[in-house]
Structure 1
């Protein structure tokens, strides 16, 4: 009996020792991979900023466009995102290197399961396909039939290049939508207004993103109060998305546009889609606005608020001062 118990104890000891050894090996492997990956990304970041970038001619405004033959499959905008840390994997880094990715704002069925291909187009009308596989909708869809998508397409260039011509526009396609492959719906890619600011540190400016104006929104005094209050609190730029508003409201927004403090963007969601997507596609609008503020205007802060919401710091005279203090810790 003692001998049997001893063998069992010895067997258990060997099993435990093996499990511990295997765990140590796995942790060591993960640590080495993490260290190598961090070093690789640092090297790629330095290489990324060493290239000379040539930005294509570029239009600022966007509008919803149908993708191929599918009604209510829509694409709105795209942005060049220089962050390499958002790329899950980095491939072929010996010959090709990533310079960033494209963020595409779209509306598709919530249960969309198809593999997507991005097609980028350059100013000379040369196209390049980038298969990216399946995508997932943004979570705040409230179980509507359609949902917002933020689709990421990685951009790779030849490692030995010196001058990089950036793509002008991008489209997406998928197998069930044959027309999306034969006649892609391209949208312009948004870059910083000044290409020299492509990798610059963001400016500590407070911007404000306002949800879509709809149902012939007519409270012009509310908008004036909203804008002026946020200006007092330190906001310097506002993004309004226009679906439906009164002429008085539009006249006020045009006045603010002439002062350079407001951008008004068309939010032409088809009428038949309004009842099948949450709040006129507000999740797509929020994502578009955040990327627009971050990339096009290089602002560090973007407040996502409704017209009846005023963010007031308790111990600071302005949001700008409060947020800068948050940055400083």
Structure 2
């Protein structure tokens, strides 16, 4: 009994120490979080005070090989002005972040090397940014290759006034010597109008369609899909073309001439199609969401296939439904699906 009594003070003492440590840990993290939030808020105000000079760039992208490695590919890069997505902020007394470059790529699923970003300006001045190791996007279905989406943070001198934004970016890593000697530069996408760089997103519904492949030829379904979503309030569509019939492409060119469709080349190499999930659809989804957000400043991007229609039950359109539901704190909406089968006659 005495032994048990002796044990109790020891346990209480241990618990007391643990309690103090837990309290200190929570207090310190709360302090760091509060300080970090205030720092990011201050830096955001400073970020928006600069004058930004945007380089000229080409809108369309295509898959390009990185150095000498077959099936190591880069597709696009976007300027992301959100400071809250940066994991850490370094050396803010002399240099401050103005955002990051979001890069979309395909690499081996087990890729373990440290990556360096090289940004190039219009005057051909290059700057290297080490970002370390990266991880593939989760939905790779255990294929040999996977989609990647990673960030290269951009810092400028704190006392700057006018800032020239970089024109292009390349990535390199030790095992790919050619990626260092002769980098594959990809143009960086910015808002179409640089004055909209820090503007509030427009409450517009855009639609991202999975890659058209295997000589897709159901032109009637494409027309029904576009017109149905237009009825539901969608304003813009992004199609990614790997392989489709001439009739389908003629219809898409018609919509393109009306300014409601963008058709992007999705030239995944034939030998890679059997080694990456669904023609690299995870890269396509990420590219499209950033394209809608960065280039066109749309608030909503529906990621769907041609046989998927989002139907609101109590509202006349998707745009009305989203405007009523969106309180500004939601990053994604997931819709319950119902299957409608065609019965054999």
Question: How far apart are the structure 2 equivalents of 1:18 and 1:100?
Answer: 42
Alignment of 1:57-206 (within 5 A): 57-206=56-205
Secondary structure of the structure 2 residue equivalent to 1:117: strand
CA offsets, 1:304-324, max 9 Å, x none? 110011111000000000010
TM-score normalised by the chain length of structure 2: 0.93
Q: CA deviation at 1:173?
A: 0.4
Aligned length: 328
Question: How far apart are the structure 1 equivalents of 2:206 and 2:108?
Answer: 31
Question: How far apart are the structure 2 equivalents of 1:127 and 1:107?
Answer: 24
Question: How far apart are the structure 2 equivalents of 1:204 and 1:274?
Answer: 36
Question: How far apart are the structure 1 equivalents of 2:226 and 2:29?
Answer: 50
Alignment of 1:43-58 (within 5 A): 43-58=42-57
CA offsets, 1:2-23, max 9 Å, x none? 5x66544333332222222222
Question: How far apart are the structure 2 equivalents of 1:287 and 1:15?
Answer: 49
Question: How far apart are the structure 1 equivalents of 2:326 and 2:285?
Answer: 23
TM-score normalised by the chain length of structure 1: 0.97
Question: How far apart are the structure 2 equivalents of 1:194 and 1:323?
Answer: 25
Secondary structure of the structure 2 residue equivalent to 1:43: helix
Question: How far apart are the structure 1 equivalents of 2:225 and 2:49?
Answer: 43
Q: CA deviation at 1:24?
A: 1.7
Q: CA deviation at 1:152?
A: 0.7
CA offsets, 1:132-183, max 9 Å, x none? 0000000111111100000111111111101111000000000000000000
Question: How far apart are the structure 1 equivalents of 2:308 and 2:7?
Answer: 68
Q: CA deviation at 1:86?
A: 0.7
Question: How far apart are the structure 1 equivalents of 2:21 and 2:77?
Answer: 45
Is the deviation greater in 15-24 or in 239-248? 15-24
CA offsets, 1:41-71, max 9 Å, x none? 1001111101000000111000000000000
Q: CA deviation at 1:299?
A: 0.3
- Counterpart of 2:333? none
CA offsets, 1:107-131, max 9 Å, x none? 0000000000000000000000000
Question: How far apart are the structure 1 equivalents of 2:113 and 2:10?
Answer: 50
- Counterpart of 1:304? 303
Question: How far apart are the structure 2 equivalents of 1:6 and 1:149?
Answer: 58
CA offsets, 1:65-120, max 9 Å, x none? 00000000000000000111111111001111111110000000000000000000
- Counterpart of 2:208? 209
Secondary structure of the structure 2 residue equivalent to 1:281: helix
Q: Does 1:219 align with 2:246?
A: no
- Counterpart of 2:289? 290
Q: CA deviation at 1:30?
A: 1.2
In structure 2, runs of 5+ residues without a counterpart are 329-345
Secondary structure of the structure 1 residue equivalent to 2:326: helix
CA offsets, 1:230-252, max 9 Å, x none? 00000000000011111111111
